[in-house]
Structure 1
C-alpha cells in the first residue's frame, strides 16, 4: 500500500508590498526544496512552503521627514510672516492711518488671515509634490486630509503671529520673541527625528507643543494612511491651541 506523501513545512516570511519579487523568491525556494527532496530519495516526505505575509513598505528617512518639513513651513509662514509684517505696519503708522479709510479693520485682518492660510495650502501642495516627484516619496494617505490639517495648523500659527505682533512694538523686539517660540518647537516637536529618543521629562512637554500635534497628524496621514477621525487627539490639541492663541492675540493686538 502506497503511503501518502508527508509535507514538511518551511515557513517563508515575505513582503506583501512587493508581490512580484516575493512570488519569484517563493518559486526559487520551492525549487530548491524539491531538489533537496529528490537528493534525499524520500519522495514520501516532501517539503512545502508556508508563506506568511508582512506589511513592509521600505520607508526611507525622507518619508518620515517630509510631513515634518511641511508642518515646520506652516509654522514659519504663520508665525514669522504675520509677526514681522504687522509690527512693521504698526511701527510705520500704516495701521493707524488705515483706521481713517473706509476699509473696515476686520475686513483687513480677514484678508491677511485668508492670504496666509491660502499660502499654507499652496506650500503644502508644493512640498508634497516635490517630495513625490524628486524624492520618490510614496503618499499613503489622502492629500485632502493633509490640506485640512494644514488649514488648522496655519490658523494656530497665524494667531500666534498676531499675538507676537500685538505685544512687540518694533521689529527688533518681534524677531527674538518669534525665534524664542519657533526654535524650541523645531527641535522638540519631532520634525527631524522621532521624539521617542528624548528623555521622558522633555518628551512629556514636547508632546503638547502645537507643532508636535501638526507634525504627528500630517505624518500619520502621509505615512500610515490614517483617516481624519483617527487623528482626533491631534486635531483636538490643535483646536485648543487655536482657541488659546486666538484669545491671546485678541487681548494683545493693538493698531498703534
Structure 2
C-alpha cells in the first residue's frame, strides 16, 4: 500500500528544480552577483577614506559672538550638527562628522580668538587637513583682509588637534550594504516577475495542477529556490568585501548572522512586488518598465551609491520612506556600528509595512493561468 502524498517532498522537488534553473541562467547570476561585485571592486580599489565632508559641531563652551563663528555657520558647505554632547561624540567616533570646533577668547595676547579642533581616528585625515589648513585658515584670512586690516589676525587655529579613538570608516563600509540591497532588490523583483510570468505562459503552473501538490506549496517551492540563491549571493558579496577590502563586521560571526536575517526579511518584501508585476503584466516586454517603476527610484534615491544627505532637502523625505533606504541604513548600523536587529526595529518595521501593502496587492492581482 502506497503512503500518503507528501506536500513537503513535492515542494522541495520544485525548489531543487527551480534552483538549478536559476543557477544556469546567465541573467540571474549577472544581476545578483556580477553587477554588485563590479561596483564593490571599483569602489573598493578607490581607497579607504570617506568622501570630503565639512560636517562639524560646536563645543557648548564655544564663543558664538565672533566673526569666525558667524562666517562658518553662514557658509552652505559647512553643515553644523546640533545634537547632545553624547550624540556628537558618538558621531565623531564613527566618522559621521569631521570635528568638534571650540572658539575661545585668547587671554594671552595676540589674536583675539583661538580655534580648537577635536576629531577622531575614524575621520579621513586628508579631509581634516583640508578643513584646518585651507578652509578654516582661508576664512580667517578673508575676515582679516576685510574687517581687521590693522591687526595681525582676528583668530588663529591651534596647531594641535585633539583626537579621540574611532573606528576607521572605509568606502567599502558604505558601498557594500548598498550593493547587497541592489542585488536583493533586483532578484526579488525582476527574478520573481520573470519566473512566474514564464511559468504561467508556458503552462507549467497548469501542469502542476494535474499533480496532487497544492497551490501554496507550488509558490513556496519556487520562492524558496529564489531565497536560497540570494542567500548564497549575500554570503559571496559579504565574504569578498570582508576578505578583500576589510568590510567591517563589528561582532564578527554574530553580525554576519544578523545581516543574513535582515537580508532574508528584505528579500521577502521585495519579492512581493515581483508577484505584483508578474500578475499585471500582459506580455514579457511589459515586465521591465513595470519593475523599474519600483526599483529604479530606489537604486538612485535609497543611499545605494551615495548618502541621501547629498539630495535637496525637499527630496530627502521621499528617500526616507523607500524600503531599500531602511535596509541600507539598518545594515550599515548593524555592520559598522554594532547595532542589533532589535535596535533597528524602526527600519525593519517600515520594511514590514511595505511588505503588508505589497502582498495585499499581490494577492489581488496574482494569476495562475
Q: Taking structure 1 as the reference length, what is the TM-score of the superposition?
A: 0.78
CA distance in 1, matches of 2:368, 2:236: 34
Name the structure where helix makes up a greater proportion of residues: 1
Does 2:123 match 1:123?
no
Aligned to 2:295: 182
**Is the contact between residue 79 and residue 178 of structure 1 (CA under 8 Å) also seen in structure 2?**
yes
> Who is 1:210 aligned against?
323
- Per-residue CA deviation, residues 108-144 of structure 1 (Å, 9 max, x unaligned), is 1011122222223221111111001111222225111
Task: Identify the match of residue 84 of structure 1 among 194, 208, 227.
Answer: 194
CA deviation after TM superposition for structure 1 residue 98, in Å: 2.0
Question: Where do residues 1-256 of structure 1 align in structure 2 (5 Å cutoff)?
Answer: 54-141=164-251, 142-256=255-369
Q: CA deviation at 1:93?
A: 2.0
Aligned length: 214
Task: Give the conservation status (yes or no) of the 8 Å contact 1:88–1:170.
Answer: no
Pairwise CA RMSD of aligned residues? 2.2
Decide whether aligned partners of structure 1 residues 13 and 207 sit closer, same or farther in structure 2, where only a CA change above 3 A counts.
closer
SS where residue 201 of structure 1 aligns?
Answer: coil
8 Å CA contact 1:74, 1:153 repeated in 2: yes
Q: Which runs of 5+ in 2 are unaligned?
A: 1-115, 123-160
| CA apart distance, 1:146 | 0.5
TM-score of the pair, normalised by structure 2: 0.55
Contact 2:177–2:328 (CA under 8 A) maintained in structure 1: yes
Runs of 4+ in 1 over 4 A off after TM superposition: 11-17
Change in Cα spacing, 1:232 to 1:90, as seen in structure 2 (3 Å) is same
Give the Cα–Cα distance (whole angstroms) in 2 for the partners of residues 78 and 101 of structure 1: 27
Tell me which of the two structures has the higher relative contact order, counting C-alpha pairs closer than 8 angstroms and 6 or more residues apart: 1
8 A contact 2:272–2:359 mirrored in 1: yes
